[in-house]
Amino acid sequence: MPLPKLLYLCINDASDTRINKEIKTLATSFDIVYLGIGRDDSKAFAKPHCRSFHLVKGHHKSPSTLFRYFFTFIKLYFSNRLASIHVINEQLLMIFFPFLWWSRSKVVADIFDSIFLRTNKAWIRSLQSVIYGLPKAIIVTDDNRKTLVPKAFHSKTWVVENFPYAFGDVPPRAVSDTELLILYSGSLGVTRGTNLLNDLIQYSPAIKIWMVGWVYDEPTRQLSQHPQVTFWGVKTQQETMRLASACDYILSLYEPINDNNLNASPNKIYDAIQARTPVIINAEIKIADFVAQNHLGYVMESYYAKDVAEVAHDLLRLKNQFVFTPSFLQTYTWEAIEHKLLQAHH
């Protein structure tokens, strides 16, 4: 007997780590119809788990690409008998609002990069109650971000954390008192730590960077070409975890420029636990308190570090002094919480 169909709507090319985890879990109960945007499907890691895979070629900021995306949605929406619709972030809820409204008992909104937390424009924020009234369920990535959802919608808000798959293949780490190897992964840009890394490699030739993920701006592209930097491209979560486990630190910086960054729920914190590799995080981010309390990494006093020599010396001095609580290895895993994603749909 065929499984019920689920339409998964996003503007990603199916390479995103969280999207991959979600689709793999949802595929145990649904036939996935995937609709995304990308230039090619060479890194579409989620594709094998989809019954039907549709990638609109182009960039998500291109009007012609969005036009083709809209009409592909119309075709899929009316040609499939859908049991559920999974929508990534509020922008797509807005674009497809009239259609999704008629199917609102099937819609699950997955909010992990909220437009309402990234803007101070009153007219956009005024739409929040209307948009959040549409889905039957809203998914956020931690308890703190749930508090940022209007109270009227708390009863239908699910917390599905940004935990990684369990990882047990941790190799012995090379120990050096004079060298540093830092992993810079995920969304790579000037608001995520590019400037600090530039300063560190200019300060010392003994500091090396491994970059994994998506480059979003010219300064970061230039960083990727520095002789002290190795750029690995886009990798699966398990491949990234193996690289992380060989490093001294995982960079997890967020420039404190909006509520979305201040309330970031980075998977890197939990990757660090599985890889047994401490993070570097700035104190402005709320989850930095969790890092400090559990001794999971180095907390910078500010994102805007003024003394790069002090940061470099601290990183070298402390890099072998972080101990990871064994129970965390089972608690902070996708396997432990993925059932909540299915419950939100059922």
pLDDT digits (tens, 9 = 90+) for 312-321: 999 999 988 8
Written as one string, the DSSP assignment of 104-149 is GGGEEEE-SS-HHHH---HHHHTTHHHHHTS-SEEEESSHHHHHTS
Q: What are phi and psi of 220, to 5 degrees?
A: -75, -35
Coil, helix or strand at residue 244: helix
What percent of the chain stands above pLDDT 90?
83
Residue 175 has pLDDT above 90, yes or no: no
Rounded alpha-carbon distances, angstroms, from residue 61 to 17, 37, 57, 87, 88: 21, 10, 12, 18, 16
- pLDDT bucket at 174, cuts 50 / 70 / 90: low
**Residue recorded with tokens 């402390």:** 318
Other beta carbons less than 10 A from residue 310's beta carbon = 12
What was the pLDDT predicted at 28? 97
What was the pLDDT predicted at 209? 97
CA proximity to 8, closest of 194, 247, 16, 218: 16
pTM tops 0.85: yes
Residue-wise burial string across 206-224, b where 16 or more C-beta atoms lie within 10 A, e elsewhere = ebbbbbbbbbeeeebeebb
pLDDT digits (tens, 9 = 90+) for 140-155: 999 999 999 999 999 9
The residue with greater pLDDT, 119 or 307, is 307
pLDDT digits (tens, 9 = 90+) for 259-280: 999 999 889 999 999 999 999 9
Angle at 134 (CA atoms; ends 133, 137), nearest 5 degrees: 90
Cα–Cα distance measured from residue 76 to residue 205, given in angstroms and rounded to the nearest whole number: 53
Cα–Cα distance measured from residue 86 to residue 108, given in angstroms and rounded to the nearest whole number: 5
The average pLDDT across 45-69 equals: 95
Contact 288, 221 (CB under 8 A): no
- pLDDT bucket at 2, cuts 50 / 70 / 90: confident
Residue 172 has pLDDT above 80, yes or no: no
Give bridge partners of residue 190 from the DSSP assignment: none
